[in-house]
């Protein structure tokens, strides 16, 4: 529902009705799992020095494109920062720079001594993939309790009594008794993502970096994560294509190519509105142009605009077709219920289809801008 190409004034009513019908099934169906309940992690205290990037430059390996060029930024307490831009521009690489997983070509990245970073990445490598969920979570809970005792002893706020109880953790993260003895390598994509989220929160970070956090997560888990972040006391930074989730961010860094990033103070929907305004010339300017001397346009520019306008209807049809296929897959996922094998296969198909839709949306927006030039 959060997706809509710029050129459309409204969604088809049938698509809206289908969405609400699916949402009702997902929230009220007899096979629905328990809602993932998360409390805001009792984040470690932040000191005066947070994270600061000073004149940072970075080029992709092997002489690739420039990702950062003399970029400087200082994080503020409670910051909710979103990173946006086309696929392949270096958003995930930028996260690695911030978290210290990747060195820079020049410049400095300063991280305060009290900053504790948790990373929720797209492709997580498990150290012991054959380990059972129950054994992994028991170890995770024990480590979390030790960290909490140290933090409380230093004057920090304590979590609720059962926050780091292994059984409670597994129940809250939707690992039923039948799945608790399952090796990590045999979990579905959504289960591995929930386990990864549990791992990040158990570290009690005061700075969380999310890379495509909603991939493979079910609707309940996404809503629970959004609710948790509203009360989270630390800093978080998000790279993602889920427009509804990106609304959590109050400031955006927009990749504009050739290593340039623009800071935008506002939400993702406000950024989209600004981009739409810039893509369409003001009516007053258009009227003025109509009565003034004809503007001589470059033939190549006119040709590109004409070609873009011709391609727009076809791309919009592809977008709607892809959205319809995604809606059908979502309904099949709801009906799959506890059939983990079928659900995993459907989720894998859906992931590929979602990537295709993301690419189509970017193509649609590119053609919209080209057609209006």
In a domain, 103, yes or no: yes
Computed from CA positions of residues 118, 123, 129, 135, in that sequence, does the dihedral angle turn out positive or negative? positive
- Predicted pLDDT at 91: 92
Q: Are 250 and 318 contained in the same domain?
A: no
* Average pLDDT of adjacent 10-residue blocks, the chain of 373 residues: 47 57 51 54 70 94 88 92 90 93 95 91 88 94 85 72 80 87 91 91 90 85 86 90 86 91 90 82 51 45 72 84 85 77 84 84 77 62
Contact, 141 vs 95, CB < 8 A?
Answer: no
In a domain, 63, yes or no: yes
- Predicted pLDDT at 31: 40
Residue-by-residue DSSP string for 69-114: EEEEEE--TT-EEEEE--TTSSHHHHHHHHHTSS--SEEEEEE-TT
| Gap between the Cα atoms of 371 and 358, Å rounded | 20
In a domain, 198, yes or no: yes
Q: Are 200 and 333 contained in the same domain?
A: no
Last residue within a domain, chosen from 247, 265, 283: 265
Contact, 202 vs 39, CB < 8 A?
Answer: no
Q: Are 122 and 231 contained in the same domain?
A: yes
Domain that holds residue 81: 51-131+192-265
Q: Are 107 and 256 contained in the same domain?
A: yes
- Predicted pLDDT at 99: 93
- Predicted pLDDT at 274: 86
Beta bridge pairs of residue 109:
53
Last residue within a domain, chosen from 243, 265, 287: 265
Other C-beta atoms closer than 10 Å to the C-beta of 30 total: 5
Domain count, the chain: 2
Q: Are 257 and 312 contained in the same domain?
A: no
Q: Are 336 and 252 contained in the same domain?
A: no
Last residue within a domain, chosen from 265, 287, 313: 265
Nearest to 224 by CA among 273, 186, 155, 173: 173
In a domain, 44, yes or no: no
Nearest to 189 by CA among 295, 347, 46: 347
CATH number at residue 61: 3.40.50.300
Strand boundaries in 144-291, DSSP class E: 207-211, 235-239, 251-257, 260-265
Q: Are 233 and 351 contained in the same domain?
A: no
């Amino acid at each position: 529902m959060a997706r809509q190409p710029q050129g459309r004034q409204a969604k088809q009513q049938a698509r809206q009705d289908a969405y609400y019908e699916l949402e009702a099934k997902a929230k009220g169906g007899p096979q629905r799992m328990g809602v993932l309940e998360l409390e805001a992690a009792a984040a470690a205290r932040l000191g005066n020095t947070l994270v600061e990037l000073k004149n940072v430059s970075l080029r992709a390996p092997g002489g690739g494109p420039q990702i950062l060029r003399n970029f400087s930024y200082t994080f503020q307490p409670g910051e909710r920062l979103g990173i946006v831009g086309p696929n392949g521009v270096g958003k995930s690489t930028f996260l690695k720079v911030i978290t210290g997983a990747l060195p820079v070509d020049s410049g400095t990245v300063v991280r305060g001594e009290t900053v504790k970073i948790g990373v929720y990445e797209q492709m997580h490598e498990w150290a012991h993939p054959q380990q059972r969920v129950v054994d992994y979570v028991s170890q995770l809970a024990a480590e979390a309790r030790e960290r909490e005792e140290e933090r409380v002893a230093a004057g920090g706020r304590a979590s609720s009594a059962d926050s780091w109880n292994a059984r409670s953790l597994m129940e809250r993260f939707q690992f039923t008794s039948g799945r608790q003895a399952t090796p990590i390598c045999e979990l579905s994509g959504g289960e591995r993502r929930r386990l990864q989220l549990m791992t990040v929160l158990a570290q009690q970070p005061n700075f969380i970096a999310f890379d495509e956090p909603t991939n493979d997560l079910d609707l309940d888990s996404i809503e629970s994560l959004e609710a948790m972040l509203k009360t989270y006391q630390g800093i978080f930074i998000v790279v993602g294509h889920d427009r509804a989730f990106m609304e959590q961010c109050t400031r955006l860094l927009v990749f504009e190519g050739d290593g340039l990033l623009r800071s935008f103070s506002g939400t993702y929907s406000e950024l989209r509105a600004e981009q739409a305004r810039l893509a369409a010339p003001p009516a007053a300017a258009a009227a003025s142009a109509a009565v003034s001397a004809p503007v001589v346009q470059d033939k190549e520019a006119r040709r590109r605009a004409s070609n873009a306008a011709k391609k727009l209807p076809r791309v919009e049809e592809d977008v709607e077709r892809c959205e319809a296929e995604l809606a059908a897959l979502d309904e099949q996922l709801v009906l799959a219920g506890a059939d983990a094998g079928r659900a995993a296969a459907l989720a894998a198909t859906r992931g590929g289809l979602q990537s295709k839709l993301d690419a189509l949306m970017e193509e649609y927006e590119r053609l919209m801008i080209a057609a209006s030039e």
